[in-house]
A and B are shown apart, each in its own frame.
Chain A
Amino acid sequence: MPVVLDVENVSKGFPGVRALDRVSLGLRSGRAHGLVGENGAGKSTLIKVLTGVYRPDSGVVRLGGTETAFTGPADAQRAGISTIHQEVDLIPLMSVARNVFLGREPRNRFGLIDGAALNAAAAELLARYGVRADVRRPLGGYGLGTQQMVALARAMSFDARVVVMDEPTSSLEPREVATLFEVVDRLKEDGVAVCYVSHRMDELYRLCDDVTVLRDGRRVHTGELAGLKRVDLVALMLGRDSGELRAHGATAFSGEHHADGEPVLRASGLVSRPRVAGVSVEVRPGEVVGLAGLLGSGRSETARAIAGSAPRQAGSVEVAGTRVAGGPGAAIRAGVSMLAEDRKADGIIPNLSIRENIVLAALPRLSRGGVVSRARQDRVVATFMTRLRIKASSAEQKVGELSGGNQQKVLLARALCLEPKVLLLDEPTRGIDVGAKAEVQALIDELAGQGLGVLLISSDTEELIEGADRLVVLRDGTVSGQVPPGRVTEAALLAALAAEEPDVSEDPDVAQDPDVPEEADRG
């Protein structure tokens, strides 16, 4: 089977990050190639290199064996590379038909767009993918699943040689997933090369012939998927090579904590649409509870719901026995502090100094009559800078200029400055260097030792296993398992994570009935 599109030793960096480090990948005609890895592993960057959005810093992109350099997405499209992005990359306010043919609308002899032909062609094309939608209505009026299918139809209409799909099923319903699988099968029969990005085991094993695993911007595995066990694939993704099982010592965690007494945090029956569908979790003082689950399982969303930054449709949060109302303000007053997952978008205020970032939430407490007290601030900030070993020229340096690790410490300081009872840490060590990582981990230990309740989310298995006293495992927004204290091992975690899901795609009723009426509208 000939290689249609391949990249060799491709590297791509952004200021401060090395997103891809000498990665190679070959897509073969008639085969589906799975691309997997946790968040930040470099999947999106690699896809953007494949589809002409980014130009690699170094390395070679070859199309049908000849070296090419795409000038942009349009260029890649013309070369026969179609992409379906994870986020629907269409124009919600435009009609379905116009979205499908944007840039390639059929024209009449006066050079004007032929609306009737456009609508007819779109309706016909969409029908082939089981989408029954009024093509004249705005795309945004349809559900995400329909939108994704429209994106799929658009991509297919290009007569592509290569189709790249970035988590195409994340917003699809089972019926639509079944259609998508058929489409992929048909593509393979037609000799198209498919690159399929997903973190869902069932889909990968159902569709893909080969797999490449990325971690921290590097390729850690590539080969046929059939021979690879699920648990081994999960281990590869999470960076726990079964071969290099080391006992301990890779993290700075010391071990068990002494947790006792009543839970300081009690969240029960939390529902926060669309990702959290009934999660209960308790944390006792001095305890580190790990919230485990694969990407998309609702772990971050659960933390946000507890911290009041995502709306709760049902369920309650109690801190030290008192019920907490919604909204981040109420949660902070009750003693819940959260370190958000996305440091840049939800954490740092880059233009402000370290000092101001640390005291941000605690400003009212550090002020007298609305006037900021520099002396008090400086005392607090100095304490935290020493305690957390924040490396900077001074407290007045802008946070935007710091390294990721130091930014993270600043955010930790901001949370601690509020004297919380419960700390929610969402990926506290992601994207920071080894030294800072160990320091943050040691700090988590220390804080728990001082009686804080900690809820820890991490896609770093080692961190989770060695840091947490017990684990709560999530899948599809519900608690799917628990790993009790003393039994927190890698094997237990991987088993919980890799547990098989009911495989809807095999349902014969669905697979053989493409004529299921399309749900027309979700408003």
Chain B
Amino acid sequence: MAEAAAAPRTMSGARGAVLQEYGVYLAVAVLIVFNLAFTANFWSAANLRTQLVQAAPVVIVAVGMALVIGTEGIDLSVGAVMALVAALIPLYLGYGVAAAFAVALVAGALSGLLSGTLVAVLGVQPIVATLALLVGLRGLGLVIAHGQLVDVHDAALLDLGSGALLGIPVIVWFAAGAAASAGLLVGRTTFGRQLVAVGGNRSAAALSGLPVRRILITVYVLCGVLAALAGVLATARLRAGDPADTGQLMELSAITAVVVGGTPLTGGRVRVPGTVAGALLMQLVRATLIKHDLPDSTAQMVQAALIVVAVYTARERSTR
């Protein structure tokens, strides 16, 4: 019946699809070219490193967020998880970096388990379930740290924040690792394909015998763990556990990166490379405007417009 639907793909439709598919990469490329031509010292190792380091935490969190959004969900608790982790790290650092690291990841996993259970088993809307955690977890972090910033001095931990491997900051390696693993997970594993299927058509996935609840819970756990990892790295970089500021508004930056990267909020699709590009794009936009002495205010308004345009283009394509 739908030969009609497939055949008359007009030129403009095809162009729109291409723009939708590769628009983010194109935008990143355009910005890089622009900066190469007009921005002094853009192509310096120091500057590139700064850009990557600043984008890295967003990339790590956004990759987890992309998985959740792929199942037609959303996770507002990621920033709060980072704050909680920032409070926990100094407490457990006495047992060694490995122990503190492990505690942090377990905390992230537990948070994800809780929100995943609320969503998958109790059927609570993802946005409310994770909003409750957002409000509660940052408070918990502040309570644990008595609302204070706690300096950390552990050399091994600080190395995570400011060290480099092969000339590339450790934190960037982590982000690359997270993105690569998520990319492989989505593209190459049974779980990843089932995740996308659940987001694409939950009813069909359930009818095909997929373990829908288990998949959903696992996705939220993964997102929590990635947020926790970002929390550890942010703490290491700041050289202090600061539950008041760590991860503040991270949920929104992450969602923005995912959405601008072309992953639709309606689920059924996870674009990991797009998400990375989305995070880079938002970082580059800000850096470019600032380097050209355009104030932060303009940067924010441009970002706002960018989000609307990106989602609008995505919408055009996904609804026919």
Contacts and interface: CB of A to CB of B under 8 A. Distances in A.
Asked if A and B form a direct contact in the complex, defined as CB atoms under 8 angstroms apart, the reply is yes
Interface of A: 15-17, 307, 309, 327-329, 331-333, 338, 340, 345-352, 356, 360-361, 363-364, 367, 370-372, 401-405, 407, 414, 431-433
A363 B193 CA distance: 8
B190 A371 contact: yes
Nearest to B1: A404
Nearest to B200: A349
Given A15-B4, A328-B209, A401-B6, A345 B268 contact: no
Nearest to A329: B209
Contact of A364 (B5, B190, B205, B206): B190
Contacts of A350: 200-201, 268
Given A402-B2, A433-B1, A372 B189 contact: yes
B207 interface: yes
A228 B166 CA distance: 87
A348 B208 CA distance: 11
A338 B207 contact: yes
Contacts of B4: 15-16
Contact of A15 (B5, B189, B192, B269): B5
28 contacts: A15-B4, A16-B2, A16-B4, A17-B1, A17-B2, A309-B206, A309-B207, A327-B209, A328-B207, A329-B210, A340-B207, A345-B204, A346-B204, A346-B207, A349-B204, A349-B205, A349-B268, A350-B200, A351-B200, A351-B269, A352-B197, A356-B196, A360-B208, A364-B190, A372-B190, A372-B192, A401-B6, A431-B1
Contacts of A340: 204, 207
B211 A329 contact: yes
Contacts of A352: 196-197, 200, 268
Given A328-B209, A350-B200, A404 B189 contact: no
Contacts of A345: 201, 203-204
B contact patch SS: helix
Contacts of B194: 360, 363
Q: Which interface residue of B6, B194, B205, B208 has the most chain A CB atoms within 10 A?
A: B208
Given A328-B208, A351-B269, A356 B197 contact: yes
B3 interface: yes
Contacts of B205: 349, 360
Nearest to A16: B2
Interface residues of B, number: 29
Given A15-B5, A15-B320, A361 B193 contact: no
Contacts of A371: 188-190
Contacts of A361: 208-210
Given A347-B207, A350-B268, 8 more contacts: A16-B1, A333-B209, A349-B201, A350-B201, A351-B200, A403-B1, A403-B3, A404-B1
B25 interface: no
B92 interface: no
A486 B203 CA distance: 39
Contacts of B2: 15-17, 401-404, 407
Contacts of B204: 340, 345-349, 360
A330 B196 CA distance: 22
Given A309-B207, A367-B190, A371-B190, A405 B201 contact: no
Contacts of B209: 327-329, 331-333, 361
A21 to B, nearest CB: 13
A372 B320 contact: no
Interface in B159-190: 188-190
- Which 3 A-B residue pairs are closest in the complex by CB-CB distance? A16-B2, A404-B1, A361-B208
A348 B201 CA distance: 8
A24 B1 CA distance: 24
Given A401-B6, A432-B1, A332 B191 contact: no
Nearest to B269: A351
Contacts of B1: 16-17, 403-405, 431-433
A370 B207 contact: no
Contact of B207 (A307, A351, A401, A402): A307
Interface in B1-27: 1-6
Nearest to A363: B190
A345 B204 CA distance: 7
Contacts of A414: 208
A16 B8 CA distance: 11
Contacts of A407: 2
A356 B200 CA distance: 12
A431 to B, nearest CB: 6
Nearest to A433: B1
Contacts of B203: 345-346
A372 B196 CA distance: 14
Contacts of A331: 209
Interface in B224-254: none
A407 B5 CA distance: 13
B254 to A, nearest CB: 22
Contacts of B207: 307, 309, 328, 338, 340, 346-347
B197 A360 contact: yes
Contacts of B211: 329
Interface in B62-117: none
A352 B204 CA distance: 12
A223 to B, nearest CB: 30
Contacts of A351: 196, 200, 268-269
Contacts of A309: 206-207
Nearest to A366: B190
Contacts of B320: 15
Contacts of A364: 190
A393 B196 CA distance: 23
Contacts of A404: 1-2
A347 B93 CA distance: 51
